[in-house]
């Protein structure tokens, strides 16, 4: 956004956010976490929107989106917020609701059950084949997901997950397969204005985590499935849908939906779809010309810290493709590292020093 001449402010719980160090960042504001004190976050942000004359507010993660949705009516009186209405948003904040919506519109999902009581577990899983995934309905980064390999495990594992993430869903394990993100952008009339697909090449945590290396691809069948999923939701803004193609069957299965910018946002920009700028223009001007093409075969990675963690925990690290030591000369760009704007690296290093002895942060990063 800053590169387009738009004054851009970053709100974080620390001054050591990599984005705050960017030459394109006008200013950095420090506020308590939206997850730990959502009401204080709302009051602080609304005050700063008024003080700085902010035109558009982009919440960037699940917690800030939740705050924005909770106070959407009040915030819309002082700025523009390109987010869907609450009835549509609630589907993104609860994986159980997201899967039920997929079933209602005929989009394939993994075999899934939705326990309502702990006593139901053994009975409702009788028809499922092990291993089974126990997945929180509200979490991010693949955290909280556990695998049960037999009937003896399922109740114990479900109770463990339930203690931290109440009433998770139980789902068939899809086995090996390729994971994709389909990103769609809608204007306020729910008209599609841009689409983009990226394939996950590597991820951390290794099995269930977000991608650390991505590749831009075209997949018409998957795009149509994503568009079909969104019909009837009266969507506004970003929709990030995740799918898996099962290796054994070749079937496409819906995994989740998010209404925020995704971690590997730079991938789309590098391929020619500048989603932040397009969303800003839609918010301010009401619409943009549809973006129908982008470069394929572009690769991007999150070296700091995602791909480093993947490398550390991957026992087959010598056979990684692309190799860990690949760089821009090999056609791989980075989410953060840039000669044109190097200071976010300093921000990352200072953030590491800031959180070096923070047990909560290490637990968050290393939970697998």
**How many structural domains does the chain have?**
2
CATH number of the domain to which 252 belongs = 3.30.470.20
**Domain assignment of residue 277, yes or no:** yes
279 and 181 in one domain? yes
Q: Do 315 and 220 reside in the same domain of the chain?
A: yes
Q: How many CA atoms lie within 13 A of 263 on its CB side?
A: 20
The contacts found for 142-148 with CB under 8 angstroms, 24 or more apart, are 142/203, 142/205, 142/207, 142/208, 142/209, 142/210, 143/364, 143/367, 144/168, 145/208, 147/173
Residue 368 has a pLDDT of 47
Residue 131: which CATH number? 3.30.1490.20
How far apart are the C-alpha atoms of 253 and 159, rounded to whole Å? Answer: 27
pLDDT attached to residue 139: 77
Indicate if 212 and 315 belong to the same structural domain.
yes
Classify residue 19: in a domain, yes or no. no
Nearest to 71 by CA among 97, 29, 49, 38: 38
Tell me if residue 36 falls in helix, strand or coil.
coil
If asked whether residues 259 and 126 sit together in one domain, one would say no
Same domain, 247 and 144: no
pLDDT reported for residue 356? 75
Q: What is the pTM of this model?
A: 0.93
Report yes or no on 157 lying in a domain.
yes
Same domain, 209 and 132: no
Same-domain check for residues 255 and 308: yes
Residues 153 and 263 in one domain: no
Query: What does the pLDDT read at residue 366?
Result: 61
Pick from 291, 98, 286, 265: nearest CA to 185: 291
Give a yes or no: residue 242 inside a domain: yes
Q: Structural domain of residue 135, as residue ranges? A: 111-172
The sign one gets for the Cα dihedral 323, 327, 329, 330 is positive
- CA pair distance 137, 156, nearest whole angstrom: 18
> Domain check: are 330 and 184 in the same one?
yes
Residue 134 lies in a domain: yes
Residue 12 placed within a domain: no
In terms of residues, how long is the chain? 368
Q: CA 302 to CA 300: how far, in whole Å?
A: 7
How do the pLDDT tens digits run along the chain, 368 residues long? Answer: 899 999 999 999 988 889 999 999 999 999 999 999 999 999 999 999 999 999 999 999 999 999 999 999 999 999 999 999 999 999 988 999 999 999 999 999 999 999 999 998 989 999 999 999 999 998 776 778 999 999 999 999 999 999 999 999 999 999 899 999 999 999 999 999 999 999 999 999 888 788 999 999 999 999 999 999 999 899 999 999 999 999 999 999 999 999 999 989 999 999 999 999 999 999 999 999 999 999 999 999 999 999 999 999 999 999 999 999 999 889 899 999 999 999 999 999 998 887 777 776 666 666 54
């Amino acid at each position: 956004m800053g590169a387009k001449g738009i004054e851009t402010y970053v709100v974080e719980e620390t001054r050591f956010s990599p984005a705050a160090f960017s030459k394109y960042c006008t200013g950095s504001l420090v506020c308590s976490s939206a997850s730990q004190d959502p009401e204080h976050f709302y009051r602080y942000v609304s005050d700063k929107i008024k003080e700085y004359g902010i035109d558009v507010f982009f919440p960037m993660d699940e917690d800030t989106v939740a705050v924005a949705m909770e106070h959407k009516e009040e915030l819309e009186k002082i700025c523009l917020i390109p987010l869907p209405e609450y009835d549509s948003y609630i589907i993104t904040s609860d994986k159980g609701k997201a899967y039920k919506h997929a079933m209602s519109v005929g989009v394939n999902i993994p075999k899934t059950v939705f326990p309502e009581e702990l006593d139901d577990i053994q009975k409702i899983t009788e028809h499922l084949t092990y291993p089974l995934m126990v997945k929180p309905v509200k979490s991010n980064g693949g955290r909280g997901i556990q695998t049960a390999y037999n009937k003896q495990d399922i109740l114990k594992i479900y109770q463990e997950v339930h203690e931290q993430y109440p009433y998770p869903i139980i789902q068939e394990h899809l086995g090996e397969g390729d994971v994709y993100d389909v990103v769609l952008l809608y204007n306020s009339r729910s008209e599609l204005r841009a689409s983009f697909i990226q394939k996950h090449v590597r991820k951390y945590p290794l099995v269930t985590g977000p991608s650390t290396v991505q590749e831009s691809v075209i997949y018409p069948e998957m795009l149509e499935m994503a568009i079909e999923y969104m019909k009837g939701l009266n969507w506004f803004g970003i929709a990030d849908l995740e799918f898996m193609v099962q290796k054994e069957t070749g079937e496409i299965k819906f995994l989740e939906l998010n209404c925020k910018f995704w971690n590997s946002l730079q991938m789309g920009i590098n391929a020619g779809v500048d989603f932040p700028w397009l969303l800003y223009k839609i918010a301010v001007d009401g619409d943009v010309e549809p973006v129908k093409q982008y470069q394929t075969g572009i690769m991007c990675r999150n070296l700091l810290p995602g791909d480093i963690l993947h490398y550390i925990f991957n026992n087959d690290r010598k056979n990684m493709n692309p190799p860990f030591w690949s760089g821009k000369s090999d056609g791989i760009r980075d989410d953060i590292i840039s000669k044109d704007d190097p200071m976010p690296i300093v921000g990352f290093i200072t953030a590491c020093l800031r959180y070096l002895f923070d047990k909560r942060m290490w637990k968050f990063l290393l939970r697998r």
